[in-house]
Amino acid sequence: MKAAVLREVGKPLQIEDVQINKPGPHEVLIRTAAAGVCHSDLHFVNGTYPYPLPAVLGHESSGVVEQIGSEVRTVAVGDHVITCLSAFCGHCEHCLTGHMSRCPGTETQRGPDDEPRLANAADPMYQFLNLSSFAEQMLIHEHACTKIRKDMPMDVAALIGCSVTTGVGAITNTAKVQPGETVAVIGCGGVGLAAINGASIAGAGRIIAVDMQGSKLNLAKEFGATDVVDASQGDPVAQVMELTGGGVHHALEAIGLKPTTEQAFKMLARGGTATVIGMIPLGTNIELHGADFLAEKKIQGSLMGSNRFPVDMPRYVDFYMSGKLKLDNMISQRIKLADVNSAFEELERGELARSVIMFD
């Protein structure tokens, strides 16, 4: 099969012929239909986060089940599925207490003495985040995908595999936004737009989108933002404080930077909560003012929207089909696998919401 391989940090991905193994007892072979080009992949291309190489990248995807292992009970051949990087074992403390996204997932991967799922000639390749979806096929654990209805468009379904689940889940599962509360979202890329849309579905009274690009702020309005703040035109914290008369109940950081994380905490009202969705570079220290904790302000992280993806993702599909999730506007362009490096360049410039690779 053709796949996009990262062999060296900071270098373009290479389109190569990669061998894929057969399903083990709890594994599923999927024909990839679509894969989103996510900023999280870019972190590993740039070396902001380390990963063993060579690796087939990609983690936001949809597809059709082609083969299943002897013990698979969750999907069947021919099912349409969405994948999820937070594969879960189902019986650890995190899974049993309803926090499946926190599962270490070691049992969902092949062991060091097993044949690798992916290889190039005689050399093994590393599977990226349990998935490696920049490829014509994926071989994954059954607890890394979930069945969806077949009338769901597969290009849009791929977005639910990461950005939608991360953004909407951060609102509903992590922050637990209540009807009428005020929300600020810093960063209007794919995840930020999904958070804005999720805040609208949750019934937030006021949703403030913060970004430095006017085009993204205009897009944010289509996803449910009631107000926009152009961070290039002055201090965004001061602008949010002026809009709200004292701060927001919830501020969500969807970029992954030290300054924006600190801004999210500063724009909170008394008793407010800042939720960090973005991937802050390793080794980065965040500075917070201790006096703010006396006002019961809180800061927390969110891993993949604190998802229970076998339950959440089919519901997000229903939200899209009923018109509640505005995912069509999130796709900026549909591309071929060979165009993946150009999509990364555009993503790094912050020009697009989402590029989706289509596998015909």
CA dist., res. 108 & res. 25, Å (int): 11
Torsion of CA 303, 309, 312, 315, to 10 degrees: 140
Whether the Cβ atoms of residue 280 and residue 258 lie closer than 8 Å to each other = yes
CA dist., res. 93 & res. 6, Å (int): 34
Q: Strand 60-68 to strand 80-83: parallel, antiparallel, or no bridges (unpaired)?
A: antiparallel
CA dist., res. 277 & res. 44, Å (int): 17
Whether the Cβ atoms of residue 340 and residue 5 lie closer than 8 Å to each other = no
CB atoms closer than 10 angstroms to residue 303: 15
Closest CA to 62 of 167, 206, 188, 163: 163
Local structure of 219: helix, strand or coil: helix
141 phi/psi in degrees, rounded to 5: -70, 150
Residue 203 CA, chain-centre distance (Å), reads 22
Both tokens assigned to 150: 């077949």
Both tokens assigned to 297: 């302000």
Whether the Cβ atoms of residue 28 and residue 20 lie closer than 8 Å to each other = no
The set of catalytic residues is 38, 40, 43, 59, 162
- Tokens 């201790």 belong to 290
